[in-house]
Amino acid sequence: MNSVDAETRRPRRGTGRTVRGRQSRQQLVDAARVVFERDGFLRARVADICDQAGMSHGSFYTYFTAKEEIFQEVVDSVEIDLLRLEPVTKSAGPVERIRAANRHYLETYLQNAKILAVIQQVATFDPDVRKTRLQRQDEFARVVEKRILEYQAADLADARVDAWTAANALGGMVAFVADQVATGRTSLRKDEVVEQLTVLWSNALGLAPSGGRSRAKGGSAPKRRR
């Protein structure tokens, strides 16, 4: 699967045409992420971001117009990576591809759990952030839908499954479970979660571990630890 198109990024005030400029801009973005994670969006101030970056307020406005703009930069950097699908070998079958995608999403989510919680909160009251997130998720679902259709055309997946519905439902399931793991609301280890998500994806699409249509039974779910 291809990665989500990075063209959803917005035009920005300063792009940093020199190496030093790009470094300064990235320094501000990195500092902003620390401040947003620590203080939340509403309490974060441009002054705090500049202090964290060790830069002057004037330098901030060389690259960004306001904290809303730099926040969108942070959102872009996190979500584009989160929804990027890891490349796999050409010989990899559907289940291997699904497993790799689930592992990448879960690991990336856990690495970015704090800032993702802030992004989710801001999306509830900022229409621009919400619109960008929905657009990006829609693009990602279209990529997944295309791959499901390819599996169906190759008689690897159940033709009765509506590819668009499956892409959204299964993607939403992975996002929800990732949040459960990040907040400690599951006793399963990361590898177990990846495997369970892969089993659910495979069964929902009618895939077999070997890449054919699944009608196999057997195996067992991991026992929950008390």
Q: Which of 79, 108, 85, 83 is nearest to 98 (CA)?
A: 85
- Measured CA to CA in angstroms, residue 154 lies from 149, 161, 179, 212 at distances of 9, 14, 33, 9
- The percent of residues in the chain predicted with pLDDT above 90, rounded, is 72
Lowest mean pLDDT among 25-34, 50-59, 196-205, 216-225: 216-225
Buried-exposed string 16-41: b where 16+ CB fall within 10 A, e elsewhere: beeeeeeebbebbbebbbbbbbeeeb
pLDDT greater at residue 203 or residue 80: 203
SS3 label, residue 15: coil
- Measured CA to CA, the distance from residue 106 to residue 179 in angstroms comes to 9
Cβ atoms of 141 and 133 closer than 8 Å: no
Please determine, for residue 191, whether its predicted confidence score (pLDDT) is greater than 90: yes
Please determine, for residue 199, whether its predicted confidence score (pLDDT) is greater than 90: yes
pLDDT of residue 92: 82
The length of the chain is: 226
Tokens matching residue 58:
């004037």
pLDDT of residue 99: 95
Tens-digit pLDDT profile for residues 10-64: 445 555 568 888 999 999 999 999 999 999 999 999 999 999 999 998 999 999 9
The 8-class DSSP code of residue 4 comes to P
- Measured CA to CA, the distance from residue 205 to residue 178 in angstroms comes to 20
Tens-digit pLDDT profile for residues 132-173: 999 999 999 999 999 999 999 999 999 999 999 999 999 999
Please determine, for residue 1, whether its predicted confidence score (pLDDT) is greater than 50: no
pLDDT of residue 81: 86
